């Protein structure tokens, strides 16, 4: 399972996504207040990020353990890459709306008077998407080699053309 480079890429992607559950996603300027992912999910309007986070993390693990069926692994990699890009877009939308008093983080800004700052783990979904896409390319390359070797083996043995 871990003899191929794509397994390493998928393991790193899954590790990044799982680490988002425990890493602080938002900090506030002026105070040592740190909001972890679970607390971000508790805010009004952040249930969508919770759903994306859980789906992406579980899907990454499923991709990693389904190494015997490469076609399914390729399809799941494509699906996970699309979901991760959508998840990163949602985080970017929350980032752009952080100072709007009508949005969830803007409500915190109005109540506490401190500006929210997004931390490094907020870019983990796009990193995981890139790693998953690279792994998918290696999986497709392995599948092409298997198909080519099967095609070569199925030919007639000992057959010489021209004699």
CATH of the domain at 60: 1.20.140
Residue 41 resides in a domain? yes
Which three-class secondary structure string do you get for 90-152?
HHHHHHHCCCCCCCHHHHHHHHHCCCEEECHHHHHHHHHHHHHHHHHHHHHHHHHHHHHHHHH
Helix (H, G, I), strand (E, B) or coil at 71: helix
Residue 162 resides in a domain? no
Residue 76 resides in a domain? yes
Joined tokens for residue 24: 């602080």
Domain count within the chain: 1
Whole-number Å distance between alpha carbons of 98 and 103: 7
Q: What confidence score (pLDDT) does residue 118 get?
A: 80
Residue 159 resides in a domain? no
Question: Is the model's pTM score more than 0.85?
Answer: no
Q: What confidence score (pLDDT) does residue 35 get?
A: 60
Whole-number Å distance between alpha carbons of 57 and 65: 13
Q: What is the mean pLDDT of each run of 10 residues along the chain (163 residues)?
A: 84 93 74 58 64 91 91 95 94 78 60 71 94 95 90 67 50
Residue 118 resides in a domain? yes
Domain that holds residue 47: 5-153
Residue 158 resides in a domain? no
């Amino acid at each position: 399972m871990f003899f191929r480079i794509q397994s390493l890429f998928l393991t790193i992607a899954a590790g990044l996504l799982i680490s988002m559950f425990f890493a602080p996603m938002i900090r506030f300027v002026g105070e040592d207040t740190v909001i972890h992912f679970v607390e971000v999910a508790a805010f009004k309007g952040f249930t969508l990020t919770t759903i994306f986070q859980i789906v992406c993390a579980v899907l990454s693990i499923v991709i990693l353990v389904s190494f015997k069926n490469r076609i399914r692994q390729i399809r799941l990699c494509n699906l996970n890459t699309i979901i991760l890009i959508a998840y990163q877009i949602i985080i970017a939308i929350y980032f752009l709306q952080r100072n709007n008093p009508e949005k969830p983080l803007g409500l915190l800004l109005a109540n506490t008077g401190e500006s929210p700052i997004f931390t490094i783990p907020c870019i983990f979904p796009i990193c995981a998407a890139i790693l998953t896409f690279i792994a998918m390319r290696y999986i497709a390359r392995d599948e092409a080699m298997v198909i080519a070797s099967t095609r070569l083996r199925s030919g007639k043995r000992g057959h010489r053309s021209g004699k």
